A and B are shown apart, each in its own frame.
Chain A
Amino acid sequence: MSASPSQSTCTQIAADVHAGRVTARAVAQDALARIARLDPGLGAFTHVAAERALAQADGIDARRARGEALGPMAGAPFAVKNLFDVDAVTTLAGAKMMETQPPAGADAFLVRKLVAADAVLVGALNMGEFAYDFTGENAHFGPSRNPHDPAHMTGGSSGGSGAAVASGMAALSLGSDTNGSIRVPSSFCGLFGLKPTYGRLSRAGTFPFVASLDHLGPIARAVDDLALAYDVMQGADADDHAQAARPFEPASPALASGLAGLRIATAGGYFASGADPAAYEAVARVAKALEVSRSVDLPEAGRARAAAFLITMSEGAALHLDRLRTNAAAFDPDVRERLMAGALAPGAWATRAHKFRRWYREAVLRVFEHTDVILAPATPCRAPRIGQKMMTLEGKALPVRANLGMFTQPISFIGLPVATVPVWTEGETLPIGVQIIAAPWREDIALRVAKALEDMGAVRAPIAPEPHP
């Protein structure tokens, strides 16, 4: 057991609570103390659920004292992006204008699943406004800061979800990912993230962004924890009409079965140019560890990104049209201008994008006939500085906001499952992530490869050192 009980992984905390080496209350108190100490410098939390966490922890300890069975995540402290409903808390979705809304009447489906497994909710997390963001900045609530260097971005839009886990304020967080919002913060904050297949996990009880592309998933410091949370959160939910009819397909049982039989390749073409060398070095390191030398092409990935962009702006604007008409001044300016443009975009653009989506899906599925896993950069660079507007990639000056998702968008566009793994280079203070992409419904394969890399020591997600006062 770690000297600071909340600093372990979820599986270790649960084992310690099950065995009576620590109480759930002690873990919750430790996590809450850490939040109180570190969060003022990191801006990860918009709501700390101290009372609820301690009451839930006491309930777990009481059940153990009575000899009752505990759930597989007993005592593990987790927090959720503030677009997830949390009972009796107003769901902000990163927007100041939402503060006047009534509190949620119940937890979101995935929160209920984690709580049923005895994970302990410690709070709700900062995010880019309405999830239309890759930076983790927020004009109203301030930026979430990268625990590995607070002058740098967490990435977004699940910025608080990255900061909370990388700083050890939570062992696990939940985020949403429409175009990269789990994978970008996982890359910048040096964490493992899972964006499951589109339609796998219920989105009920969360504030939407782009119904055609929205996914939810976990971020953690260990692959075991990602797999455990993913397994626990599966389950049919009639409240999400886009949820696919899939059986329970757990990833944990075969997680440690290694790489045998897997055909792995790196993504060439679109994914092999236009980025900082750090992005390619990270992919090369992972490929070397996996003894991969083959590369495959995802045809027309650049157009896939364009199509994701058009669907996002069009559906996002439709969602917020009333607010744009009546309360435009209350938006984060960086979000408002994009939504306004989306509100004016001709409908034929988005329809064309949806038609292309069908073509691209079929083309990429053909690649998976001879390949099980595709490796690609998660982000084109390490975390930019907070407030940075432009970056230079291969000699070209590009806007930061519009380009952090260049490698994630063509993948989520057709809902492929992705595990993001963190790569550290000697001498660098900031990590960078690699996407491990599998065929639809094969989260188990993506997580298996992530686990093998973690076991080899090729990827890791340490808690950031605390700043010295």
Chain B
Amino acid sequence: MSDHADIDAFIDAAAPVVGIEIPQASRADVRTNLEIAMNMARLLEGFPLDERTEPAPVFTP
């Protein structure tokens, strides 16, 4: 399956779970934005990080 089709299927499955409705007119732009994000995530995942690297925000009670 292409990324494009995967994202469409993902939107169809995830939107009702999250509880939002994606109007047909918004569909293409939502897909484009998710596609950009997916590529950003792949870029990040291509960088090796030590498993023990803590996420940046530290909550100070």
A385 within 8 A of B: no
Q: Which residues of A contact B33 (CB under 8 A)?
A: 313, 337-338, 340-342
The proximity string for A residues 295-310 relative to B, scoring 1 for CB distances below 8 Å and 0 otherwise, is 0000010110011011
Inter-subunit contact B18/A344 (CB<8 Å)? yes
For window 340-359 of A, CB contacts with B under 8 Å fall at 340-346, 349, 351-359
- For chain A residues 315-340, which have a beta carbon within 8 Å of chain B? 321, 324-325, 328-329, 333, 336-338, 340
User: Known contacts A336-B26, A345-B37: does B44 contact A358 (CB below 8 Å)?
Assistant: no
Which of A380-410 touch B at CB < 8 Å? Answer: 402
Interface of A is mostly: helix
Collect the chain A residues with CB atoms within 8 Å of residue B29's CB.
333, 337-338
Does B44 contact A306, Cβ atoms closer than 8 Å?
yes
Quick check: A337 and B36 within 8 Å, CB to CB?
no
A344 and B57: CB pair below 8 A? Answer: no
In the complex, the chain B residue whose C-beta lies closest to that of A360 is B56
Residues of chain B in range 18-59 having any CB-CB distance to chain A below 8 Å: 18-23, 26, 29-30, 32-34, 36-37, 40-41, 43-45, 47, 49, 53-57
Judged by a CB distance under 8 angstroms, whether A234 is at the interface is: no
CA of A17 to CA of B53 in the docked complex: distance in angstroms?
55
Interface centre among B14, B19, B29, B44 (most CB of A within 10 A): B44
Picked from A212, A310, A359, the residue with its CB within 8 Å of the CB of B37 is A310
Q: A338-B33, A341-B30 are in contact. Are A356 and B10 (CB under 8 A)?
A: no
B53: chain A residues at CB < 8 Å are 355, 358-359
Q: Are A310 and B40 in contact (CB under 8 A)?
A: yes
A34 at the interface (CB under 8 A from B): no
Note all chain A residues with C-beta closer than 8 A to B30: 337, 340-341, 344
Identify A344's interface contact among B11, B23, B32, B55, CB under 8 A.
B11
Residues of A within 8 A of B21 (CB): 328
B54 near A313 with CB under 8 A, answer no
Say how far B38's CB is from chain A's closest CB, in angstroms: 8
Query: Which residues from chain A contact B14 at a C-beta distance below 8 Å?
Result: 344
- Bound: A402/B32 CA distance, A: 11
Minimal Cβ-Cβ distance residue in A for B50: A359
A47 CB-CB contact with B under 8 Å: no
Assembled-state Cα–Cα distance A89/B34 (Å)? 36
Q: Do B56 and A357 touch across chains, with their CB atoms under 8 A apart?
A: yes
Q: Which of B34, B37, B54 is close to A355, meaning CB atoms less than 8 Å apart?
A: B54
Contact of A303 among B23, B26, B44, B56 (CB under 8 A): B44
- Is A64 at the interface (CB under 8 A from chain B)? no
CB contact under 8 A between A358 and B55, given known A333-B26, A337-B30: yes
Is A112 part of the binding interface, using a Cβ–Cβ cutoff of 8 Å? Answer: no
**In the complex, A318→B8 CA distance in Å?**
21
Contact B34–A345 (Cβ < 8 Å): yes
Partner of A300 from the list B26, B37, B47 (CB cut-off 8 Å) is B47
One of B34, B36, B45, B49 near A402 (C-beta < 8 A): B36
Residue contacts A-B, CB under 8 angstroms, 8 given? A337-B33, A338-B33, A342-B37, A344-B20, A355-B56, A356-B44, A358-B53, A402-B36
Question: Which residues of B are interface residues toward A (Cβ below 8 A)?
Answer: 10-11, 14-15, 18-23, 26, 29-30, 32-34, 36-37, 40-41, 43-45, 47, 49, 53-57
Q: What 14 additional pairs, Cβ within 8 angstroms, besides A356-B47, A357-B55, A414-B56?
A: A309-B37, A310-B37, A313-B37, A336-B26, A337-B30, A337-B33, A338-B29, A341-B30, A344-B20, A346-B41, A351-B55, A352-B49, A357-B56, A361-B56
Binding site for B on A (CB under 8 A): 212, 300, 302-303, 306-307, 309-310, 313, 321, 324-325, 328-329, 333, 336-338, 340-346, 349, 351-359, 361, 402, 414
